[in-house]
Structure 1
Amino acid sequence: MNKKFNIFCDELLKWNKIHNLTGYKSRDLIFENIEDSIYPLSFINDFKSAIDIGSGNGFPAILLAILKQDCKFYLTEPNNKKSAFLNHIAIKLELENVEIIKNRFEELPKFKVDLITSRALFKSDKLIDLSKDFLNNNGYFLFYKGSDEKNVYKKVGNRSYVYKSKGNLNG
């Protein structure tokens, strides 16, 4: 496993004791979520820029940024504790391809990216409606959802991955 994944895990556990960032209290649970975060790289198209809506404790964007160093990642997180952790971990992992935006996604000025990701924030239809103006015409949405989500592209266990192109919004 990638050395940076181990550092991410250690730092998340350390910060979690003080700031209660996540319910994941063990290395095993964190590594399950790391694997969940990077799994879509096995089936999605290549991309050069991404925005993550509600980045929280870094799943999936920090993990994707570790593996995709040639891509620019914008992580949006309005929560002070969580955005502080994201800034800390991006510096600690020397992720020069990551920019943390401490703001609500809805309040951002529009800019274009190739991929929009989100995990467990809103239903897919609402996420698409909120974010479609940020997506390049040939870009994709990648949402990590629970098992009850509709329009699922791929399902693994209790995780549903919604992967949809901007050009295919009506299908």
Structure 2
Amino acid sequence: MDLKTTLANDKIELPDDFFQKVQRYKEHLFKWNKVHNLTGAKNEQMLNAFIYDAVFPISFLPKVNSLMDIGTGAGFPGLILAFALPDTQVTLVEPLTKRASFLQFIKADIGLKNVKVVKKRVEDMQSEIFELITSRAVTDTQMLLRLSENFRDEHSKLLFYKGEKVFDEIDTNLNMQHKIIETKNRHYLLLGEEL
């Protein structure tokens, strides 16, 4: 997958330095991954697919000033969204030391002023309200709703990166408006009171 062409074809507007940051990130990730096994994306093609997957929601998300990503791992989707949204304050929550250290290293190396790395489980964090909460491959929707309770209000939106099983996770006791955005490889579940 040629990331630049694919994103351009999908008319996803990105900052001028997005691909420069992505390139630097990829170089570091491949080096760190050999030692620390941070992600399952072991080659350029797979990594490009992960990056595309992370940034695609730019095409439908409202503008937000603050974003929290639960369980960022090696950077998906939170770090990639931080590259794409330089005016949004992005909090990356990652409890595992090696992954949190990698995120902190990337933040320093690229000079990301809009990123804060929190090396904790989300349950152990102080309550704070975010306009958007994201998560990919962490747990099921009901658990994510519980984990995010102290970090959202009636205006917050939630974006969960899901697979085809998302339809099984949407049940009648989901007391929030929601919509599912389907792409070829990914389903995005967007929740909020004001969709």
* 2:38 maps to 1:11: no
Report Cα offsets for 1:84-117 as digits up to 9, x if no partner.
1000111112111100000000111100110000
Could you tell me which residue of structure 2 aligns to residue 124 of structure 1? Answer: 141
State the alpha-carbon separation in 1 of the partners of residues 87 and 143 from structure 2: 29
Cα offset, 1:133, TM superposition: 2.5
In the TM superposition, residue 137 of structure 1 has moved relative to its aligned partner by 2.1
Whether 1:162 and 2:162 are equivalent positions in the alignment is no
Query: Secondary structure of the residue that 1:137 maps to in structure 2?
Result: coil
Partner of residue 111 from structure 1, selected from 106, 121, 128: 128
Q: Deviations over 1:43-65 (max 9, x none)?
A: 11111101110110001111110
Query: Partners in 2 of 1:79 and 1:60 — Cα distance?
Result: 16
Query: In structure 2, what is the equivalent of residue 47 of structure 1?
Result: 64
Matched ranges for 1:15-164 at <5 A: 15-150=32-167, 151=170, 153-164=180-191
In structure 1, runs of 5+ residues without a counterpart are none
Superposition misfits of 4+ residues, deviation over 6 angstroms: none
Q: 2:149, 2:59 → 1: CA distance? A: 24
Aligned-pair CA distance for 1:158:
3.0
**Equivalents in 1 of 2:91, 2:135: separation in Å?**
12
Any stretches of 5+ residues in structure 2 without a counterpart?
A: 5-18, 171-178
Aligned residues: 168
For residues 4-36 of structure 1, give each alpha carbon's deviation from its aligned partner in whole angstroms, at most 9, with x where no partner exists: 111111111110011111111111111111111
Deviations 1:117-169 (A, max 9, x none): 0000111121012203311321100011111112451111231101011x26x
TM-score normalized by the length of structure 1: 0.93
Q: 2:102 & 2:158 partners in 1: Cα distance?
A: 25
Identity %: 35
Equivalent-residue separation in structure 2 for 1:91 and 1:7 (angstroms): 12
Measured after TM superposition, the shift of residue 67 of structure 1 is: 1.2
Report the Cα distance in structure 2 between the residues aligned to 1:164 and 1:109, rounded to whole angstroms.
23
TM-score scaled by length of structure 2: 0.82
